[in-house]
Amino acid sequence: MKNIDSNSISNSTDEQQFPLSTMRHSAAHVLAQAVLKLHPQADLAIGPDIENGFYYDILVDPPMREEDLPKIEKIMKELVKNKQKFEHYTLPSVSALEKLIENNQKFKHEMATELIKNGESVISFYRNVPKNNQKVLFDDMCAGPHVNHTGQIGHFKLTGISGAYWRGDSKNQQLQRIYGVLFKTKEELTSYLYMMEEAKKRDHRKLGTELELYTTSEKIGSGLILWLPRGFIIKDSLETWAKETEDQQGYQRVTTPMITKEDLFYTSEHLPHYNEHMFPPMPLDNENYYLKPMNCPFHHTIFGIRPRSYRELPLRLAEYGTCHRFEDSGALFGLMRVRAMSMNDAHIYCSKEQAVDEFVAVMKLHEYYYKALGITDYYMELALRNPENTKYHGDESMWKEAEDLTRKAMEVSGIEYRVEHDGAAFYGPKVDFQIKSSIGREFTASTCQLDLFMPEKFDLKYIDSDGNTKRPVCIHRSPLGTHERFVGFLIEHFAGAFPLWLAPEQIRIIPVGEAFHDYAVTLHGKFNESGFRVQLDETGETLGKKIRNAEKMKIPYMIVVGEKEKESGKVNVRNYFTGEQKELEVPEFISTLKKEVETKEIQRIKKADR
Q: Residue 500: is its pLDDT beyond 90?
A: yes
Reported as a single tens digit per residue, the pLDDT across 468-483 is 999 999 999 999 999 9
Q: Using an 8 Å Cβ cutoff, are 28 and 47 in contact?
A: yes
What pLDDT is attached to residue 446? 87
Residue of 331 and 496 predicted with greater confidence: 496
What pLDDT is attached to residue 405? 92
What pLDDT is attached to residue 6? 28
In whole angstroms, give the CA distance from residue 544 to residue 46.
Answer: 53
Reported as a single tens digit per residue, the pLDDT across 192-238 is 998 888 888 899 999 999 999 999 999 999 999 999 999 999 999 99
Reported as a single tens digit per residue, the pLDDT across 562-577 is 999 888 989 999 999 9
14 exposed, middle or buried (CB, 10 Å; 0-12, 13-18, 19+)?
exposed
Instruction: Tell me the C-alpha to C-alpha distance, in Å, between residue 337 and each of 324, 438, 443, 486.
Output: 11, 20, 11, 11
Task: Give the distance from CA 261 to its chain's centroid.
Answer: 33
Question: How many other CB atoms are there within 10 angstroms of residue 588's CB atom?
Answer: 12
Place 139 in a pLDDT band, splitting at 50, 70 and 90.
Answer: confident
In whole angstroms, give the CA distance from residue 426 to residue 380.
Answer: 19
In whole angstroms, give the CA distance from residue 437 to residue 495.
Answer: 10
Q: Residue 7: is its pLDDT beyond 50?
A: no
Place 8 in a pLDDT band, splitting at 50, 70 and 90.
Answer: very low
Question: SS3 for 125?
Answer: strand
Instruction: Kindly tell me the number of DSSP H helices and DSSP E strands found in the chain.
Output: 18, 30
Task: Give the distance from CA 311 to its chain's centroid.
Answer: 41
Reported as a single tens digit per residue, the pLDDT across 73-132 is 999 999 999 999 999 999 998 999 998 988 888 999 999 999 999 888 899 999 888 876
In whole angstroms, give the CA distance from residue 26 to residue 3.
Answer: 18
Q: Residue 355: is its pLDDT beyond 60?
A: yes
Mean pLDDT across 578-583: 92
Q: Residue 464: is its pLDDT beyond 90?
A: yes
Q: Residue 16: is its pLDDT beyond 60?
A: no
Q: If you average pLDDT over every residue of the chain, what do you get?
A: 90
**Predicted model pTM:** 0.80
What pLDDT is attached to residue 11? 39
What pLDDT is attached to residue 477? 95
Domains and CATH numbers, the chain: 4-184 (3.30.980.10), 210-493 (3.30.930.10), 507-598 (3.40.50.800)
Q: Sheet harboring 138-141: ordered strands across?
A: 85-92, 122-129, 138-141
What pLDDT is attached to residue 397? 85
- CB hemisphere CA count around 583 (13 angstroms): 9
Residue of 16 and 331 predicted with greater confidence: 331
Reported as a single tens digit per residue, the pLDDT across 502-561 is 999 999 999 998 889 999 999 999 999 999 999 999 998 999 999 999 999 999 999 999
Tell me, what DSSP letter sits at residue 213?
-
Residue of 607 and 115 predicted with greater confidence: 115
What pLDDT is attached to residue 597? 97
Q: Using an 8 Å Cβ cutoff, are 288 and 262 in contact?
A: yes
Reported as a single tens digit per residue, the pLDDT across 256-273 is 999 999 999 999 998 888
Share of the chain above pLDDT 90, in %: 72
Q: Residue 10: is its pLDDT beyond 80?
A: no
Mean pLDDT across 401-412: 90
> What secondary structure, in 3-state letters, does 296-364 show?
HHHHHHHHCCCCCEHHHCCEEEEECCEEECCCCHHHCECCCECCEEEECEEEEEECHHHHHHHHHHHHH
What pLDDT is attached to residue 575? 95
18 bridge partner residues: 9
With a CB cutoff of 8 Å and minimum separation 6, the contacts of 209 are 215
With a CB cutoff of 8 Å and minimum separation 6, the contacts of 598 are none
Question: SS3 for 250?
Answer: coil
In whole angstroms, give the CA distance from residue 31 to residue 130.
Answer: 17
What pLDDT is attached to residue 5? 28
Q: Using an 8 Å Cβ cutoff, are 19 and 10 in contact?
A: no
Residue of 61 and 298 predicted with greater confidence: 298
In whole angstroms, give the CA distance from residue 394 to residue 193.
Answer: 48
Question: What are the helix (H) ranges across 59-146?
Answer: 69-82, 93-102, 106-117
Question: How many other CB atoms are there within 10 angstroms of residue 342's CB atom?
Answer: 18
Tell me, what DSSP letter sits at residue 166?
G
In whole angstroms, give the CA distance from residue 345 to residue 495.
Answer: 27
In whole angstroms, give the CA distance from residue 551 to residue 167.
Answer: 46
